[in-house]
Amino acid sequence: MPGSVSHHVSRVRTLYRKILQLHRALPLELKALGDQYVKDEFRRHKSVGPEEAQKFLQEWENYAAVLWEQAGQHAQSSSGRPRFGSHLSEEKLHALRDEQVGQLKELMDEATKPKRQFDILDDKEDKT
pLDDT tens sequence across 59-116: 999 999 999 998 887 666 666 666 777 777 889 888 888 888 888 888 888 877 775 5
Whether residue 40 has pLDDT greater than 80: yes
* Beta-carbon contacts of residue 24 (< 8 Å; ≥ 6 apart): 31
How big, in percent rounded to 5, are the helix, strand and coil portions of the chain? 70, 5, 30
Domain ranges in the chain are: 2-120
* Cα three-residue angle 116-120-122, rounded to 5 degrees: 130
Contact 82, 118 (CB under 8 A): yes
Give the pLDDT confidence score for residue 128 in this predicted structure. 46
Cα distances (angstroms) measured from residue 24 to each of 51, 77, 85, 99, 102: 30, 17, 15, 28, 26
Cut 0.85: pTM above it: no
Give the pLDDT confidence score for residue 8 in this predicted structure. 83
pLDDT in tens, 11-39: 999 999 999 999 998 888 889 999 999 99
